[in-house]
Structure 1
Amino acid sequence: MDRTGLGSGNSFPALIRKKRDGEKLRDEEIRHFVRAVTRGGLQEGQMGAMLMAIRLRGMDPDEMLTLTQEMAVSGRVLEWPDSWQRLLVDKHSTGGVGDKVPMISGRGLGHTGGTLDKLESVPGFNVSQSPEQMRCILEQVGCCIVGQSEELVPADKVLYALRDVTATVDSLPLITASILSKKAAEKVSALVLDVKFGSAALYTSLDSARTLAQSLVSVGSRLGICTVAMLSRMDGPLGQRVGHSLEVLEALQCLEGQGPADLHHLVTTLGGSLLWQCGKAGSVGQGAARIAASLADGSALGKFQAMLQAQGVEAGVAQALCTGTEEQRYQVLGRARGQEELPAAQDGTVQRVEALPIAQVLHELGAGRTQKGQPINHHVGAELLVTVGQRVAKGSPWIRIHYDTPELSNDQRRTLQGALVLAGSEPFAPSCKVAEIILPQGSRSLEEVTGEQGLGSSQALLCSV
């Protein structure tokens, strides 16, 4: 008797064997698999075997599209007013160190920080909102930052947990389906993807990140979502602060039109792309200029304050956080018990600051988790006191660590000192964070898309196939 629910002659072991041998799965076979995953009709070992077969043999574009579609409809699909068409937009990041640009978000695991964890350092902020509450917040404020609803894409929850324990996290078809199934279930009209590459990213090379970006743009476009991907560097931290409450402070600086130049550039570029994608700007460059203006004139910060209140933060707390001094903001968010600055070991120009060693030390100090549900310390973090391209003198402080218990050990100090890479060259301007833009096939030229301002001389345009 076939207990998989896939029908006689089409048993689940036969499907595993088919994909294991490199054959293409038909739409109805993928549909049966996803439905069995959602309804609990499969053994965990069978699901793991199928994930490994997909990891080793891959999927063609049609298979990836069907897998994404079936995962999207495995749970609730959100419905929005007709008047919101072309105005529902979202952003996704593949994760990094100091990545404080938000989206419909997740929690941190390993060395990467989660947007939800960062925002929960704000007293009262509630990331758990039902689809009905999301609609109310969107009508009232125009934006929200929430966690994934339990009703959305239940198949992804099952498969994501298994991917972590079956060493299939890096499977391109599974990453593509996991990311885009949630966006399809949200029924967004435009999506911008921040695909990181570098030593502190999931994909360390530009080529591998580009392959993922092309897959996401291609499948997203076939789902009817206007999808663009930005390839951004993640060797060093984004911005100057790493750690949950410290990143909130830096995000507030950016919302005031200040803060680190690399963060400001990434925010305006991603936001500018979304404005272009939904027809609110003639080019990404024009959209980026509009985003920069909203940061400079305080309107973006005002929206953030309204969103905080709509998601549970008391009015007085939201006001102190958004309009107060940095000391008043620290009073709201709290501060770590101690701080320690480390000196540069020699004279030189900062060639780079390695993000991964910093993130690993902060993780050991309590800023990260090694398993789901583990508590974290929102106050642990680091401030970079130097920037890439800057000339520094021996003995001058280059990083400030915020810690509670434990304090820094000598081994951790040595690890951190290895993150600062100096050379004897003259000061220089650092590279632009955004390296390339991936557009859907058939898009206009790079000059037309980016606009007269452009987005940096290092960028190139690649169309997905």
Structure 2
Amino acid sequence: MSDARTIISKLRNRQTPSREELNWFAQSLADHTVTDAQAGAFAMAVCLNGLGDVGRVALTMAMRDSGRVLDWNLGGPVLDKHSTGGIGDCVSLVLAPALAACGVFVPMISGRGLGHTGGTLDKLSAIPGLATELSVEQLRDVVTRAGCAIVGAGADIVPADKRLYAVRDVTSTVESLDLITASILSKKLAAGLDGLVLDVKVGAGAFMKDRAAANELAEALVKTANAAGCKTTALISDMSQPVAPALGNALEVAETMKVLTGQTKGKLVEMCASLGGVLLADANLVEDVQAGADAITGAIADGRAAERFGTMIAAMGGPVQFVESWARFLPEATVIREIAAPASGYVTAIDGEALGMAVVDLGGGRKVEGEALNLAVGVSDVVRIGTQVTRGQPLAVVHAGRASDADQAETALRAAITISASPVPAPDLILDRIG
């Protein structure tokens, strides 16, 4: 019979608990058998001493099995993508329907934003009538009809993670590599996936600012997921600037729709092609990664991805004609202001975290969990690193609820975008592949 004190004592003494002990602890987190104090001690012991490869896999599987694990019988592979968080990152909204158009089923369990990075569910909440909290039966129906669904984790999916994450947030143990890995993968594995691609972001706009730390996380995630039976590859991607030129919930949905309806392409399509190409190749649906990337861009270019997106939106309670008339459904900010370049030169750096926090200060992101958002506010038309600008040319456009908020955002954006006399090369989007 396991007990919390024995497990915590083992961790304190740098011993790895057995699989049975970690299973017991995860179930006890879910049913509140262990106290908050014991959960905090567990998290701190793991943070300080680690679990090792075997323990990390065991904890991930135990947390997955603390709730319902989905299974599918759909006539095609069940695949997904996860990002470690960045700015202007609306990749999921484009990639999920593009994958669906390529014969893949995508039950994407996503989260809400906290801190300077936006949450996919918050972006979808800008679409009127759309519900992201679905029952398992509703999720199955949407995935069957549309090929994809982007939803929140239900109460019966990985309840151990919900409990442990809340404890980690108040005990300064969020940064633990083992706990990050178990938290991310337990939710993805509970979705019953056949394959997964990870977008591990590094740079000024990411949580991971250091390349070595990003690689370490990617390697831990790939090794753990593969050991758990889910074919997984990670891409290390650049987050020195926004993926899409927009930050903010409705604004990122608008950017998504511009891509899906062929009005624009840019780095958002490139990122989707890179991630989707890996997924399709890993699932043996195409000959190689390039063929997979071509399949993704083809599904976007010919409108099949947009069609799948529209089916998903309608199935989740959103407008039936959203794809055809998306602009009239999205909320608009009261104050819209161009931010002019203070001097001529070249854009050489962007402080992505500062941009993200400017959106938070506008009301488009949360400073505390559960805070209500202004879904219309944010920043659009952000210039890219390497761009030559002349004095007075717009660097970005602020969308605010009040003029005073726009003033504050303007100050933040001017400080966040560096203009220099000499150019720098545009950074590569994909920096490395793990797995």
**Residue 94 (str. 1) matches residue 79 (str. 2):** no
One-letter code of the match for 2:135?
S
Q: Which residue of 2 aligns with 1:76?
A: 68
Which residue, out of 168, 175, 178, partners 1:170?
175
Q: TM-score, normalised by structure 2?
A: 0.93
* Matches of 2:406 and 2:137, distance apart in 1: 48
Which blocks of at least 5 consecutive residues in structure 2 are unaligned?
A: 93-107
CA apart distance, 1:410: 5.3
From 124, 136, 147, the counterpart of 1:119:
124
CA distance in 1 between partners of 2:3 and 2:138 (Å): 42
Distance in 2 between residues matched to 1:337 and 1:223, nearest whole Å: 49
Q: Is the 8 A contact 1:257 1:292 kept in 2?
A: no
Pairing 1:140–2:132 present? no
1:156 to 161, 181, 189: 161
Aligned position for 1:288: 293
Greater relative contact order, per chain length (Cα 8 Å cut-off, separation 6+):
2
* More off after superposition, 191-200 vs 12-21: 12-21
CA distance in 2, matches of 1:53, 1:215: 19
After the TM superposition, which of the residue ranges 254-263 and 97-106 deviates more from structure 2? 254-263
- SS of 1:357's partner is helix
In the TM superposition, residue 317 of structure 1 has moved relative to its aligned partner by 4.0
- Name the CA distance, whole Å, in 2 between partners of 1:310 and 1:294: 20
Q: Which amino acid aligns with 1:24?
A: T
Kindly indicate whether residue 343 of structure 2 is the aligned counterpart of residue 338 of structure 1. Answer: no
Question: Where does residue 416 of structure 1 map in the other structure?
Answer: 413
What is the CA-CA distance between 1:374 and the residue it aligns to?
A: 1.4
Corresponding residue for residue 99 of structure 2: none
The 8 Å contact of residues 336 and 402 in structure 1, kept in 2 or not, is answered as yes
Asked if 2 retains the 8 angstrom alpha-carbon contact of 1:96 and 1:196, the reply is yes
Q: Which residue of 1 aligns with 2:307?
A: 302
- Name 2:384's counterpart in structure 1: 387
Deviations 1:68-93 (A, max 9, x none): 11111111111211744xx1001111
The separation in 1 between residues aligned to 2:173 and 2:241, in whole angstroms, is: 26
What is the CA-CA distance between 1:267 and the residue it aligns to? Answer: 0.8
Question: What one-letter code is carried by the residue in structure 2 that aligns with 1:31?
Answer: N
Q: Which amino acid aligns with 2:388?
A: R
Partners of 2:262 and 2:225 in 1: how far apart? 32
Distance 2:234 2:127 in 1: 30
Partner amino acid, structure 2, of 1:191: L
CA RMSD of aligned residues (A): 1.6
Describe the SS at the equivalent of 1:418: helix
Shift of the 398–270 alpha-carbon distance from structure 1 to 2, 3 Å rule, reads same
Q: Which residue of the partner structure matches residue 437 of structure 1?
A: 433
Counterparts of 1:62-461 in structure 2, within 5 Å, are 62-81=54-73, 83-84=75-76, 87-102=77-92, 103-321=108-326, 329=327, 331-405=328-402, 407-408=404-405, 412-426=409-423, 430-439=426-435
Task: Answer whether contact 1:239 1:260 (CA < 8 A) is retained.
Answer: no
How far is 1:40 from its partner? 1.0
Cα distance in structure 1, aligned partners of 2:280 and 2:168:
34
Contact 1:78 1:186 in 2 (8 A): yes
1:434 is aligned with what amino acid?
I
Give the whole-Å Cα distance in 2 for the aligned partners of 1:367 and 1:47.
32
Q: Distance between the aligned counterparts of 1:209 and 1:258, measured in 2?
A: 33
CA deviations on 1:198-236 (whole Å, 9 max, x unpaired) are 122121111101000001100111111110101111121
Matched residue count: 420
Cα distance change, pair 19–345 in 1 and its aligned pair in 2 (3 A): same
Q: Quick one: distance in 2 between partners of 1:180 and 1:199?
A: 25
2: CA distance between counterparts of 1:355 and 1:286? Answer: 32
Percent sequence identity over aligned pairs: 37
Cα deviation 1:390-437 (Å, max 9, x = unaligned): 1111222211100013633655433221111122224x6512211111
- Stretches of structure 1 lacking an aligned partner (at least 5 in a row): 1-6, 322-328, 440-465
**TM-score normalized with structure 1 length:** 0.87
Deviations 1:260-293 (A, max 9, x none): 5211110111111111111111111110011111
Q: How far apart, in 1, do the equivalents of 2:46 and 2:302 lie? A: 49
